[in-house]
Structure 1
């Protein structure tokens, strides 16, 4: 329970940091790259023993972590493109709805249970995420020619969560979670530095110290969001499909409430309905586990 709560809090802090990026005109790409360096450093420190590159490469999960780190950067760029093409609401819904992918994977691959309460909780969660994420009365509209971008964000984000579950379950020892996390973040950082180098060569890179501060502010909760999510998945609290459902709707619910308290956001009636459904979803999934 503690690990799940800390995962939700860490992910909500990520939301707060991203909101502050727009307020202080932080270059998101530059801060994201710094964030991966900071998150990787957190993992190395938490590993609490000397780290030799040769030993890390020898781990069974090494190449999976590298691939996952690359996917982090790819999905981030897809999110940026989707925001430009379709708007922030569309990318927000596509990202948050992606929890459906690891849920389906857990039900299919791990043969997890799907009783009536859990099914209702998952369906409530899907509706809750949508309603809580849409901040305009008109809802969202997507041009047919731009549909591919939010679809790729949805699939990519879902693959990331699914891969974390599969890799940590199949390859990562309990004590190796910090160095596994550090490796995937380091992989993402390396790709990010390549992108920044290309920008520099083209004369489009402008260094600003505030972007480093923004990256540090993001990197710490980003590391712990992954670390505590893995710990929650390894607990006996819920099956992975239940963990992903509760984790995501709780993040959406808490982020929405934080938006009201810290950023004076005004919610529509459907946003409040989304919050109510989120609470109902968590209750239903919990009931399923204990009946």
Structure 2
């Protein structure tokens, strides 16, 4: 359980960094680029991968390519989603991506569905919906007129919105599944993780060069801290999957619920963010979901 709790805590620290970074006008794309460099260095020195090419080709070729492409791609898609439909809807799409790894638990990883797990899953999704709920702000007449005027334009973007949110949903869901697959490699996951980081760095670097990025010192320095947090987040997450190799649902659901619950508490006490009654109910449901998945299975 220690690995799962550690992964949750570090993931929330990543969220705090991203929140503070936006306030400090740090270019997140540049920070993520350096994040991969930091993660590569930490992976080499702490995990000591053998860099056995034949081992990587035999066990993790698909994982390497898929993660190397998806890690930077999902970041770009998420950024586009936030720009197009806002943070709230993008966050909901990211969290509801839990559906894919939960489905994979029973179809790919051979986990058996029990009554307790079924109840836990229902509670988990109920918790996610409640935790991501945000009431619509009250609008005045002027804003209402603007909204009505924009309906025609918005209707034209329904397809794009569905595609971008679908990309967020599928991207994060598939990444979770790939990390579970990586965990099944045992100690050999270090090789796969390292090459995935390298490929992700190369692809994101090319993307930034094509977009003629203006480099910022503080953004690059911020990426060092982000890289350390991101590396340990992934490491603890993989270790949690290895510790609960027969219960992937617990790790998938526990990670998502834990991050949102702890994030809500941190937001309340550090950033003075308000938590609605529905959000509070979501925290309670989340605790009940993890209890069902952990203690009743």
Same fold? TM cut 0.5: yes
Please point out which of 222, 229, 240 is paired with 1:214.
222
Post-superposition offset of 1:138: 5.9
Q: Which moved more, 1:175-184 or 1:71-80?
A: 175-184
Who is 1:4 aligned against?
Answer: 4
Matched-pair contact (CA < 8 Å) for 1:94–1:151:
yes
Who is 2:71 aligned against?
Answer: 72
Larger radius of gyration: 2
**Size of the alignment, in residue pairs?**
279
Post-superposition offset of 1:20: 0.8
The answer on 1:272 being equivalent to 2:280 is: yes
Who is 2:82 aligned against?
Answer: 83
Normalized against structure 2, the TM-score is what?
0.87
Q: Distance in 1 between matches of 2:85 and 2:20?
A: 22
Post-superposition offset of 1:249: 0.5
Post-superposition offset of 1:223: 0.9
Q: Distance in 1 between matches of 2:242 and 2:52?
A: 27
Who is 2:211 aligned against?
Answer: 199
Matched-pair contact (CA < 8 Å) for 2:39–2:228:
yes
Task: Name stretches of at least 5 consecutive residues in structure 1 with no aligned partner.
Answer: none
Matched-pair contact (CA < 8 Å) for 1:44–1:179:
no
Q: Deviations over 1:54-98 (max 9, x none)?
A: 577655314521331111111111111111111101111111111
Q: Deviations over 1:160-210 (max 9, x none)?
A: 1112212432xx2x333333222211111110110121123xxxx222111
1:1-291 alignment, distance < 5 Å: 1-48=1-48, 58=57, 60-137=59-136, 144-145=158-159, 146-169=161-184, 172=185, 174-200=186-212, 205-236=213-244, 239-289=247-297
The verdict on how the C-alpha distance between 1:183 and 1:136 changes in structure 2, with shifts beyond 3 A counting, is farther
Post-superposition offset of 1:213: 2.2
Q: Distance in 2 between matches of 1:40 and 1:207?
A: 21
Task: Name stretches of at least 5 consecutive residues in structure 2 with no aligned partner.
Answer: 139-153
Moved over 6 A (4+): none
Root mean square deviation of aligned Cα: 2.2
